[in-house]
Structure 1
Amino acid sequence: MFRSRLKVAADREFIVFEGKSYSYREAERYVQATSAALKRRGVKAGDRVGVYSTNHPTSVFLLLALADLGAIMAPVNPEYGAEEVRYIFSHAEVCGIVCAPDLYETAVLACSGMPSRPWIILNESTATAESSGGNATLQDEILKGSSPIENHQASAASTCVFIYTSGTTGFPKAVMHSQGNLVTAGEGFVERMHLQPADRLLCILPLFHVNAIFYSLGGALAAGATLVLERRFSASNFWKIVKETRATEVNTIAAAASILMRRPRTEFVEGHHLQKMYGAPFDEETYRVFQEEFAVPTLIEGYGMSEIPGALNNPFPGPHKIRSMGQPSRHPQASVQLAQVGISDDSGALLPPGEIGELVVKTPIVMQGYFKDAGQTEAAFRDGWFLTGDLAYYDKEGYYWFVARKKDIIRRRGENISGAELDRVIGNHPAVLEAAAIPVPSELGEDDILVAVVPRPEMTVKPEDIEVWCRNHLSAIKVPRYVAIVDELPHTPTHRVAKFKLRDDVSIRTAATDLQAR
């Protein structure tokens, strides 16, 4: 797919990064040279190479070069420490690592405890490279020259990337995706966002995340468009970057959109070209601020997981149902069915509109499985349907609506209460930055509700304030018994609250105020 762009867009910008531009033709030279460098290091079909870095063009070149060899990229969160890096790269059994200069020492420390020590090269030359023991850089490797790739062994079914889950239930799992999956997901994103060759996709999400790789990069490739790559998300510089790079489309997550909405309006830059934004969930306030204050006309909400990229979305032409996950995603070719979606009960029977059950999905972009975990792979499917673990329902127009994670349900006095609903309602309190509701054992059996609350900077909120807010906005059964005011909440690498860590933290309940005991 990448090489096919050369036939129609060789001189078009493919990647823009920190003021430097790479055309499709120039990128192809880097990919060929990177493939040759990997072959000199003995990389062959099926091998894994780790990436430990913030976003950088070499990550894109490396993904394509490894695909050329039938090998696999295993990216890791650059914020991980040595122990976390060691776990993932040991689990992936990487033969080598491409790493950012400032993370070199951590990478060496991580590798020191691995049974088979991988080679390490830096992805760029900087002043810190001299302090890295004379370690080679990818640029050095490329300058040694390239040679045509021979005996190309890859196919559409060849695994090309491991996406490690956020580990919300324990150790991260490696989701395996094929080259065909990435191509099809990119084509689906063309339909989802009506991408055109002139589009410039701003990538602020990290290239270890399915969104950045399958939607931003995959979408740019499928459309023959331009990927505007940023090292990391910067809220204070976001609008300046949007204006300077002439970005027309951006993908966000809820946390990033929320941060931008709360930044000083003096940071907003008028006259930008941003027309489209993809992400979820977007509430009414998100639509209002981005459309009316930030002049971004089209917001598209969707739903996907590392295992099933791009399963649902609000149709680009509309109608857009705010807070809805949308309808089953479509492919630009009507003959290609991108997703079948249903709501299932615990026995596997599909439910009619309006009834809540587990969201299940069949899609050609489904993962190949979890690496070295046949048991978890088998447990993720039933009768060919992927089990998302999310409770949802669909309406008579075929739009799907998220209710809660099955594991985020609090069972109180015979009723099921959505932790996600409590998070949203309490998070709307003007003095609350973030909130997370979890179940705690009740002396009456089942659960009581504990909510951990982070106040906004320079603002104060008391447990009693949360109680009053909840009584005004929720039914009595949903009012929490315990409120803990905390400085911060634990998060996964994709900025979701790591509720499993809260549930395991006994100090939270100790620190909480028991509103019932007053």
Structure 2
Amino acid sequence: MSLQNTPGAHVAMNEVGDETIGALLARRARVHPDETYCTFKGECITFRLLDRRVNQMATLLKAQGLARGDRVAVMLPGHPEHLYLIFALARLGMVRVPINVHLIGAPLEHLLTELDPKVLVADGAYRAALDGLAARLPPILWRNGADGEFDAFATCVEDDAATDVRADDIIALSPSSGTTGAPKGVLKTDRHLRAGPLAVLRLTEARPGDVFLFWEALHHGSGVAVAIAALIGRFQLAMLERFSASRFWDDARQHKATHIHYLGSVLPMLLKQPESTQDRQHGVRIAWGGGCPSHIWQEFSERFGVTMREGYGLSELITFVTANVDGTPGSIGKPLSYYDIALLDDNGAPVAAGDKGEVAVRAHDARLGFLGYFRNPQAEADARRGELFMTGDLAHADAQGNLFYAGRKKDMLRRRGINIAAWDVESVFAEHEAIAEVALVGVPSDLGEDELKLFVRVREGVQIEPLELIRWSSSRLPYFQIPRYIEFIESFPKTPTQRIQKKELSRQVAGVWDVADTDFRPAKR
């Protein structure tokens, strides 16, 4: 089904202008110097102070011999100093290479090798992970290091020299999600990095005086988008060191938050917390993000008294490509007016109304489209089909043009001659009260197709037998979608967006619970 010509099928957006992030920051410091940009551990960071610290950080970077266009890898925790570095790199036109601070071993080595930074800025807390790598590393500027070189940035004079950074200069390499293959460096311009925040502002309806509880990791694009959105929209960030489900609503109350952000498993984690008479005693109006299962939408909204706002985006484009601004439960909404979206079958033809198809995106302005992968022309070519970027994600649409996410195309399995979407099976099992998270993968069968193996993480303090789950599912799934194998798991490997990394899940079945060893036989209906 093609949506591009459907009336009312787009969410109106403002134009993404040419004023760069660095120029915007300088203007904020000049026009609104005493407004609060961010708070952290009792410290109030105004636009004036933010601008000063960014300019001092710029002096430090230049002292390292770095210049416009140089790639700088960043491996830092959530802290205002990380923000100063992000903005300084943008102002100087250097290319930020964000590194997930939780990476170790081969995945960490892959990014540092493939994205080839000239310098790595890293916190001393990650020294052991970096020292354990076999690859030759770039020079490292240590935060909390023995020489104190990074830590002395606030003693530097301000570098406020004019820069010639332009809106369409590449200033970041954003690692792709890596759910099915090795992460690739996505080319990002200053314009890209401002378009995503404009979508955040449209989705959240944030205004000056609002407060966002800011827990997001800054190695992830959504965290950076929120930081830039606060610069554009003049709302405040209440920055936390880390996400804590048990303290979340206390933090929201303490900081007078009006907006909370979620990714992946965040909402189920908050719902798992003990119910309290204070569940609605807060000032939060809107919970916004991506990855809210439809069965959780209403439960979360009713328990905590918030309005849900859902969108869909991906590393290769901007933070959000679609936005659900009318509250249709479970929907990722409609495309922003920057884009057209079509749902296509394997032959590139639009699917029938209501059917699932691959999400294909065309940017109205090529400057907001997919710009390519760093030094990976083959992967770039594989992702394009003419003007379309093929996302690899599946969705279907209702009669009003609302889109509903339906999993990854590569998660399509074939069993007994029938195609099965992993998302369909996972969505059913996710509704079971004992289950916190699930993931379905295909494993080899004697017949040459897939057998279904379900990984299950149960809720804390809950026990359930595999056969009980299978019997429960038999009235909810057709026989060919009922898993053969079930393996319980304590935690799932995750991407920075909290998506389960299925490539890390074992396909071994030796010793795994097997429905074939029981007397259960699903009825064919």
TM over 0.5, shorter chain: yes
Q: Which residue is 1:333 aligned to? A: none
Q: Which residue is 2:91 aligned to? A: 68
Q: 1:145 to 1:107 in 2, by over 3 A?
A: farther
Q: 1:117 aligns with which of 125, 132, 138?
A: 138
Q: Which residue is 2:251 aligned to? A: 241
User: Is 60-69 or 355-364 further displaced after alignment?
Assistant: 355-364
Higher helix share: 1
The within-5 A match list for 1:54-453 is 54-81=77-104, 83-110=106-133, 113-115=134-136, 117-122=138-143, 129=144, 132=145, 134-150=146-162, 152-214=163-225, 216-266=226-276, 268=278, 271-296=281-306, 298-309=307-318, 310-315=320-325, 318=326, 320-329=327-336, 337-363=337-363, 364=365, 365-453=368-456
Q: CA deviation at 1:341?
A: 0.9
Offset from partner CA, 1:376-424 (integer Å, 9 cap, x none): 1111111111101012222221111222211111212232212122122
Q: CA deviation at 1:82?
A: 5.0
Q: CA deviation at 1:241?
A: 1.0
Q: Secondary structure at the match of 1:386?
A: strand
Q: Quote the Cα distance in structure 1 between the aligned partners of 2:484 and 2:227.
A: 46
Q: CA deviation at 1:301?
A: 1.1
Q: Secondary structure at the match of 2:69?
A: coil
Instruction: Give the counterpart letter for 2:497 in structure 1.
Output: T
Q: Secondary structure at the match of 1:21?
A: strand
Q: Quote the Cα distance in structure 1 between the aligned partners of 2:437 and 2:194.
A: 37
Q: 1:355 to 1:46 in 2, by over 3 A?
A: same
Q: CA deviation at 1:7?
A: 4.5
Q: CA deviation at 1:308?
A: 1.9
Q: Quote the Cα distance in structure 1 between the aligned partners of 2:27 and 2:344.
A: 41
Q: Quote the Cα distance in structure 2 between the aligned partners of 1:267 and 1:482.
A: 41
Q: Quote the Cα distance in structure 2 between the aligned partners of 1:101 and 1:279.
A: 31
Equivalent residues of 2:75, 2:122 under 8 A apart: yes
Q: Quote the Cα distance in structure 1 between the aligned partners of 2:257 and 2:429.
A: 34
Equivalent residues of 2:426, 2:440 under 8 A apart: yes
Q: Secondary structure at the match of 1:472?
A: coil
Q: 1:86 to 1:500 in 2, by over 3 A?
A: closer
User: Is 196-205 or 20-29 further displaced after alignment?
Assistant: 196-205
Q: Which residue is 1:24 aligned to? A: 47
Q: Quote the Cα distance in structure 1 between the aligned partners of 2:160 and 2:148.
A: 23
Mind listing any 5+ residue stretches in structure 1 that lack a counterpart? 123-128, 330-336
Offset from partner CA, 1:443-471 (integer Å, 9 cap, x none): 33422211122233332221211111111
Equivalent residues of 2:59, 2:156 under 8 A apart: no
Q: 1:356 to 1:432 in 2, by over 3 A?
A: closer
TM superposition score normalised by structure 1: 0.89
Q: 1:456 to 1:188 in 2, by over 3 A?
A: closer
Instruction: Give the counterpart letter for 1:165 in structure 2.
Output: S
Q: CA deviation at 1:154?
A: 1.1
Equivalent residues of 2:112, 2:137 under 8 A apart: no
Q: Secondary structure at the match of 1:511?
A: coil
Q: CA deviation at 1:325?
A: 1.4
Structure with higher RCO (Cα < 8 A, 6+ apart): 2
Instruction: Give the counterpart letter for 1:489 in structure 2.
Output: F
Q: Quote the Cα distance in structure 1 between the aligned partners of 2:132 and 2:49.
A: 35
Q: Quote the Cα distance in structure 2 between the aligned partners of 1:8 and 1:353.
A: 51
Q: CA deviation at 1:328?
A: 0.7
Equivalent residues of 1:63, 1:72 under 8 A apart: no
Offset from partner CA, 1:307-349 (integer Å, 9 cap, x none): 122111112xx2x2211111112xxxxxxx4221111223333
Offset from partner CA, 1:93-140 (integer Å, 9 cap, x none): 222222223223434554xx4446313130xxxxxx4xx4x2224340
Q: Quote the Cα distance in structure 2 between the aligned partners of 1:82 and 1:191.
A: 39
Q: Quote the Cα distance in structure 2 between the aligned partners of 1:452 and 1:322.
A: 27
Q: Secondary structure at the match of 1:325?
A: coil
Q: Quote the Cα distance in structure 2 between the aligned partners of 1:74 and 1:358.
A: 29
Equivalent residues of 1:344, 1:350 under 8 A apart: yes
Q: 1:446 to 1:86 in 2, by over 3 A?
A: closer
Q: 1:474 aligns with which of 465, 477, 480?
A: 477
User: Is 424-433 or 38-47 further displaced after alignment?
Assistant: 424-433
Q: Which residue is 2:467 aligned to? A: 464
Equivalent residues of 1:66, 1:73 under 8 A apart: yes
User: Is 176-185 or 363-372 further displaced after alignment?
Assistant: 363-372
Q: Quote the Cα distance in structure 1 between the aligned partners of 2:95 and 2:278.
A: 40
Equivalent residues of 1:37, 1:142 under 8 A apart: no
Instruction: Give the counterpart letter for 1:459 in structure 2.
Output: V
Equivalent residues of 2:370, 2:389 under 8 A apart: no
Q: Secondary structure at the match of 1:187?
A: helix
Q: 1:268 to 1:255 in 2, by over 3 A?
A: farther
Q: Quote the Cα distance in structure 2 between the aligned partners of 1:19 and 1:42.
A: 35
Equivalent residues of 1:188, 1:338 under 8 A apart: no
Q: Which residue is 1:125 aligned to? A: none
Mind listing any 5+ residue stretches in structure 2 that lack a counterpart? 1-23, 519-525
Q: CA deviation at 1:513?
A: 2.2
Equivalent residues of 2:39, 2:239 under 8 A apart: yes
